[in-house]
Amino acid sequence: MSGSTKRTTTSFATVLSRAVVTPLARMLWRPRIIGRKNVPKRGPVILASNHRSFIDSPAITLMAPRKVSFLAKQEYFTGTGLRGAVSRAFFGGIGAIGVERGAGSAAQHALDLGLERLEAGEAFAIYPEGTRSLDGRLYKGRTGVAWLALTSGAPVVPVALTGTEDVQPVGSRFPKLARVTIEFGKPLDLSGFGEASSGRARRHATDAVMAAIQELSGQEPANAYNNPPATIVERVRQVLRRDDPTEAVQPD
């Protein structure tokens, strides 16, 4: 598929998702949306959200007042046949960027893709916790969100999702009917924390973002990273890896 054909297909899928999927989602889940005016209508912006469910990304992108991109597993774009075509059209239509899972260079590549969107003046969504919370608590943020903000100069809008864990709990294959609340907080300017190259600046800026998310969501802070079970190789990598701004970005 040529570049122009791919862009046309993605553009059509985006229009279709806004025209069909968004009204359907509003009808089924009756989302309560708070603070839409806090999302800048133009220019680069990072939407930093808590993470409760698989449907968090579709919820944000379909209910935000502007087009939003987010990271998603590459597998959603590599399927074959009708199922693969539907998956590509849906995820491409709601702004997903396909990336490989992993740490190190793979994680930095994921952040670089997000940075490209921000430098193009677009909105980009990220989950500082890194992965979904299984116990409802809000976990410590990875510093990738601060790296993006301090590198691009984009403001960060904290986002709190409530109820998405009831729509599609972890392990559930199909969504259920439940009320969802999405709250967009006031934009944060993180430039005062320092340069993106400073680990201290990234850490303090990330903590400020997580504090803003917690204030909106009301979740109990876990005061720890949300680390999935690691293999021996992954544990060795974690020990060897220093304060990397990517800090294990994991697409859903």
Structure-token pair, residue 43: 């220019």
pLDDT number for residue 4: 45
192: helix, coil or strand? helix
pLDDT number for residue 215: 97
Q: How confident is the model at residue 3 (pLDDT cuts 50, 70, 90)?
A: very low
pLDDT number for residue 152: 97
pLDDT number for residue 53: 87
pLDDT number for residue 90: 63
C-alpha 234/C-alpha 221 separation (Å) is 25
Q: How confident is the model at residue 8 (pLDDT cuts 50, 70, 90)?
A: very low
State the chain's mean pLDDT as an integer.
Answer: 81
Max CA pair span of the chain: 50
What is 3-240's CATH topology?
Glycerol-3-phosphate (1)-acyltransferase (3.40.1130)
pLDDT for residue 17 is more than 80: no
C-alpha 98/C-alpha 125 separation (Å) is 14
Q: Which of 15-24, 106-115, 121-130, 216-225 has the lowest mean pLDDT?
A: 15-24
Q: Give the E-state strand segments of the chain in sequence order.
A: 32-34, 45-49, 68-73, 96-99, 123-126, 156-162, 181-184
pLDDT in tens, 117-137: 999 999 999 999 988 898 999
Structure-token pair, residue 168: 């599609």
**10 Å Cβ neighbour count for 223?**
9
When comparing pLDDT for 69 and 169, which is higher? Answer: 69
DSSP class of 19: I
CA quadruple 63, 139, 168, 144: dihedral sign: positive
Percentage of the chain modeled with pLDDT above 90? 46
pLDDT for residue 57 is more than 90: no
Q: How confident is the model at residue 2 (pLDDT cuts 50, 70, 90)?
A: very low
pLDDT for residue 243 is more than 50: no
| Strand arrangement of the beta sheet that strand 156-162 belongs to | 32-34, 181-184, 156-162, 45-49, 123-126, 68-73, 96-99
Structure-token pair, residue 36: 């839409």
Domain boundaries, the chain: 3-240
pLDDT in tens, 188-237: 999 999 999 999 999 999 999 999 999 999 999 999 999 865 555 555 55
pLDDT number for residue 54: 83
C-alpha 61/C-alpha 3 separation (Å) is 24
When comparing pLDDT for 176 and 228, which is higher? Answer: 176
When comparing pLDDT for 232 and 173, which is higher? Answer: 173
